[in-house]
Structure 1
Amino acid sequence: MTFEQALLKASHICARQEKCIFDIQKKLNDWQVEPNIAQRVIDQLIKEKFIDEERYIRFYVKDKFLFNRWGKIKIRWQLKAKQISGKQVDTALEQINMGEYRQALAQLLIQKKRSIKNDDPFKTKASLIRYASSRGFEPPLIYQILDNEVMSDNK
C-alpha cells in the first residue's frame, strides 16, 4: 500500500471516530503497511490534527464513564493498554465530577443488588464488591457507598 492510499484510508477512519496513535498503528499493521510509511502516515495525521492524543483522552474518559459506567481504575488501565499514560490521563480523570461518579457507582450497586438472589448479606456484599471492582471503581469508595447507601436500606 502506498503512502497516499494509507493516508487516505487512515484519515477516513479518523474523521469518523476519534482515534489514538495506537489504534491507527494497529490498523496500518493490519493493512501490512511498511513501518517507515506507517510512521509517515501517523506523523501526517498528527500534523493535520486527525490524531490528537489529548483530545482522544478527554473523549475516551468522558465516554467510558458516561456510557459504559467504568470507574477510573478501569479507564486508566484501558488507556495504558493503548500505550497512553501520564499527566494528560490524570487531568482527564480529574475532570469527572465526583458527585456524578459516586452516584453512578451507587446506581450500579443498587441495580446489581436487585439481581442477586442471595439472602446472606455477607455474600451479597462480597458479590457487589467484586462487581464494582471489575467495573474499575476504587475499593475505599466501594466500601463507603455500600455501607452508607446500598446495604443500609432495602433498595
Structure 2
Amino acid sequence: MAKLDPIIQRKIMRYCAYQERCTYEVEHKLLVLGCPPNKITAYIRYLSVEDFLKEARYAEVFVRGKINNNKWGPRKIEMALMAKKVDSALIQRELVQFNAQWPELEAYWIGRMTKAWAYKSYDEYTLKGKLRAFLRQKGFFV
C-alpha cells in the first residue's frame, strides 16, 4: 500500500466519522484537501478496510433520511443517488425496502397540496394537473 499522509488521513477519517459518506463525496474531499489523484484509491481502500466508508450503509441512510425528513418519492431519491455515483443495484435494493411507504407518502402530498390550494378557485382539471406536476417534482410516478 502507498504511504499515506497522516494529516490528510486524519482529516478524511474525521470527515467520514461525522456522517455517512459515499465514495464520490470522499474522492471530492480528498481532492479539496490536496491529495494527489494517484493516491485517492489508496485512501478509499484504507477507509473501506477500517469501516469508515461503506456504500451500502450510505445508501440505506440516504434513502431513509430523504423519505422521513424530505418526503421524497422513489424517482427523486434514485436520481440523487445516481448523481452521487452509487451503484444502481444498490439503489434498487434500498428502494425496494420502502415499497410499502410510497402510496402513503403520495397520499400525504396529495392531501397537503389539495388543502393548500383549496383557497384558490382552480377547476378540477387544473388542480389535477398541478397535483401531477408537483408529485413528479417530488419524485413520484404519476
Query: Aligned partners of 2:79, 2:122: CA distance in 1, in Å?
Result: 34
Q: Deviations over 1:96-118 (max 9, x none)?
A: 041x3211111111111122223
Among 3, 8, 26, the residue aligned to 2:10: 8
CA contact (8 A) 2:82 2:88 kept: no
Q: Which amino acid aligns with 2:35?
A: V
The answer for the alignment partner of 1:105 in structure 2 is 106
Percent identical pairs in the alignment equals 27
The letter for the 2-side match of 1:106 is A
Q: Residues of 2 paired with 1:86 and 1:97: CA distance?
A: 17
TM-score, normalised with respect to structure 1: 0.83
Superposition map of 1:56-71 within 5 A: 56-71=58-73
Moved over 6 A (4+): none
Q: What is the distance in 1 between the residues matched to 2:16 and 2:95? A: 23
- Counterpart AA for 2:57: R
- Following superposition of structure 1 onto structure 2, how do residues 42-57 of structure 1 map, counting pairs within 5 Å? 42-57=44-59
Separation in 2 of the partners of 1:68 and 1:20?
A: 20
Q: 1:70-89 alignment to 2 at 5 Å?
A: 70-89=72-91
Stretches of structure 1 that go unaligned for 5 or more consecutive residues are 140-155
Looking at structure 2, the residues matched to 4 and 138 of structure 1 have their Cα atoms a distance apart, in angstroms, of 47
Question: 1:8-48 CA deviation, whole Å, 9 max, x = no partner?
Answer: 11111111100010011111122222112222211110111
Q: Does 1:23 align with 2:17?
A: no
- What letter corresponds to residue 37 of structure 2 in structure 1? P
Structure 1, residues 66-104: CA drift from partner, whole Å, max 9, x if none? 111111111111110011132221111000041x32111
The match for 2:135 among 132, 137, 142 is 132
Query: 2: distance between equivalents of 1:136 and 1:63?
Result: 15
Aligned residue in 2 for 1:114: 115
CA RMSD of aligned residues (A): 1.3
Give, as a single letter, the amino acid of the residue that structure 1 aligns with 2:139: G
Taking structure 2 as the reference length, the TM-score comes to: 0.90
